[in-house]
Structure formats: C-alpha cells, structure tokens
Amino acid sequence: MLGRFTQGELAIAGRRREQLLFLMDNGIYVVTVLLFVAFIFLAPYFFTPRNLVNILISASLAGIVTAGYTVAILAGQIDTSTQGVLAVATVTTALLFEEAGFSLPLTVIFALLAGIAAGLFNGLIVVNGKIVAFVATLATQGVMLAIALFLSGGQTITIAREGLQEAVFIRVFGIPSSVWIMFLCYIVGYIMLTQTKLGAHIYATGADYRASLLSGVPVDRVIRIALVISALTAALTAILVTARAKQSAMFGLAIAGSVDFVTALTAVLLGGFSLFGGVGRIERNLVAVLFLTILGNGLQLMDVPTGIILIVRGFALVLAVILSVLRARMT
C-alpha cells in the first residue's frame, strides 16, 4: 500500500501527522495549567497551602496506582483487577496490623506480597490461559473481592492501634510521605521504561506481540512482570489508603474517591497512552492525574453537586477514549 506514494509525499504526511500527535500528546500540560489558573480565580480557598497539599495527597493515591497501571497498559494489558487487589491488600493490612498485632514493616511486606500474588495470579490466567487481560482480570477481580470479603467477614476493620497512619504519613519538608512515594514510583518507572532492556521489551510487546516474539523478546515473561508491577502498586496504594482512613476499605472506591480503575484508565488515556499498548510516556500520566485531581477538587470548592462532578469525570473518560482511538487511527 505504501508503494503508491513517493518518499517525498510520505515524508510530508508523516511530518504533519507527527505534529498533530505532538499536540495531542502534550496538550495535557497546557490544559492542566489553564485549569489550575482558572480555579485560582473561580474556586474559593483553592489557592491556599492547605488545599494544595490536599490536592497532592489525593493525587498521590491515584498517582501511585496509575503508575503501575501504566506499565500494564504499555505491555498491552488492560488490567481491570485494580479494585480487587486494593480490597485484598487493604484487608490484609488491617487484619495483620490491628488483629494479628504484626509490626508495621511486616504488615507492609505481607500486604505487598498479597499484591504480588494477585499479579502472578493474573499472569497465570492471561499467559497460560491465553485469555485477553481485560476479560481475565475482570474475572480474577471477582475472586479477589470475594477473598477480601471472606477474610474480613464482610466487616470494615477499624484500626485503633496507633502507629500506622502516623508512620505512613510522616511529613518530609512539609509534604506527606505518600506524595514522595508517588514521585519515587514515577522516577523508578521512568528509568525502567526508558533506560532498561525490560522497558524496551514492555513497549515492544505492547506495540506488536508477534513481531516481538519473532525477534526473540520473552513476551510471556514481560506480560507477567507488567501485571505484577500493576498489582504491586495497587497494593502499595491500598496500604496508604488504609493508613489514611484508619480502617480497611472493602472497595477502594468507598473512602478514597479518586482511587479506582476508571480514574487510572482516564488518566492513562488523557496522558496520551494507547488503549492498545506500546505507546505513551509515564511522566504525562502524572500530569493527567494532577489534572483529574485538580478538576474534582476545584469543582468541589465551587460547591458543585457531587453528581455533576461525577458526570464531568465521566465525560473526561469519554473524551479520553475518543482521543485514544483518534490516536490509534493515526499511527
């Protein structure tokens, strides 16, 4: 098909397309800054130190889970089990710390191990069962939610014991540790994706599974690792959510309004990632998460009813999906 065009024509078409893609990719930076400036004027108390720290805390919880989610998307795996992993890890955290009396480090280790186990379980179904991740993880999420329900006896576990929230939300330079952890996740993610062999293989596997396989990329192992990373960040988020609320959250959604699969998906798509894998840059996701958090926070401060805010967020996802599909058609 390409044979019908001269190389000159191809080059011009290519350049125009790349310019448009550049705009679509980087528009999120401009839009986020505009939104921020608009809310300074429109939303009372928006531009106060206290509210800005609030935005950062909310963004950190959504941001960490999105970082791992991004890695799975890049490998071509839409991981819908985030809420299941959150539920298992939050119950694990609360049970071990409150009821079993585990030390904080041990609690954290076991909660993260629960996340890794969930990721390996996903990998087993996706790779060995040869089932598309979107469907496979939807099914495994059901299993995980049931396990969480069984472990907790269907009850919210309140954490009365001191030490969890205080330790997890220590402020360093006036900013809570969860924010620092989020930045750390993105720095590690950035280095892994751009500077390591694993990162190159994650991009390649997501962009073209067959070509990667024929070129000797260990595609199955790459998919397993990506799913484990996704589940691991969900577990990390669960620990922070549990510590912040001082209770287990049966559904991540219940207490941390911004931590869920849909937000992660919206952020990933707004950040210029392809729903089909292999395209996107993790740093843009950080901005997309900030954008969504600022949007929710600003509207709330303007006393917009919650229902309207949810509708706006819904439209943000619709817009993000349209952008993603446009992008896929162009590449």
Taking the complex as a whole, how short is the minimal distance between the CB of residue 80 and other proteins, in angstroms? 23
Which residue number, 211 or 302, has a Cβ lying nearer to other proteins? 211
Which residue number, 63 or 199, has a Cβ lying nearer to other proteins? 199
Taking the complex as a whole, how short is the minimal distance between the CB of residue 75 and other proteins, in angstroms? 13
Which residue number, 214 or 308, has a Cβ lying nearer to other proteins? 214
Taking the complex as a whole, how short is the minimal distance between the CB of residue 10 and other proteins, in angstroms? 5
Residues 246 and 110: their CA atoms lie apart, in Å, by 18
Taking the complex as a whole, how short is the minimal distance between the CB of residue 211 and other proteins, in angstroms? 4
- For residue 175, list its beta bridge partners: 172
- How crowded is the C-beta side of 233, counted as CA atoms within 13 Å? 31
CB 118, CB 140: distance < 8 Å:
yes
Taking the complex as a whole, how short is the minimal distance between the CB of residue 149 and other proteins, in angstroms? 40
Taking the complex as a whole, how short is the minimal distance between the CB of residue 212 and other proteins, in angstroms? 7
Taking the complex as a whole, how short is the minimal distance between the CB of residue 200 and other proteins, in angstroms? 6
Integer-rounded Cα radius of gyration of the chain? 21
Give 293: exposed, middle or buried? Use CB within 10 Å, 0-12, 13-18, 19+. Answer: buried
CB 324, CB 271: distance < 8 Å:
no
Hey, what are 327's tokens?
Answer: 């992008």
Which residue number, 82 or 212, has a Cβ lying nearer to other proteins? 212
Give 179: exposed, middle or buried? Use CB within 10 Å, 0-12, 13-18, 19+. Answer: buried
Which residue number, 17 or 161, has a Cβ lying nearer to other proteins? 17
Judged by the rule CB under 8 A, the positions of this chain that interact with other proteins are 1-7, 10-11, 14, 17-18, 195-200, 203-204, 207-208, 210-212, 214-217, 274, 278-279, 331
Which residue number, 153 or 216, has a Cβ lying nearer to other proteins? 216
The SS3 call for residue 176 is: strand
- For residue 171, list its beta bridge partners: 176
Hey, what are 26's tokens?
Answer: 């980087």
Write out the DSSP string of 250-315: SSHHHH-TT-SHHHHHHHHHHTT--TTSS---HHHHHHHHHHHHHHHHHHHHTT--HHHHHHHHHH
CB 202, CB 222: distance < 8 Å:
yes
Which residue number, 158 or 215, has a Cβ lying nearer to other proteins? 215
Which residue number, 119 or 199, has a Cβ lying nearer to other proteins? 199
Taking the complex as a whole, how short is the minimal distance between the CB of residue 217 and other proteins, in angstroms? 5
Q: Give Cα separations from 5 to 1, 10, 222, 268 (angstroms).
A: 8, 6, 37, 34
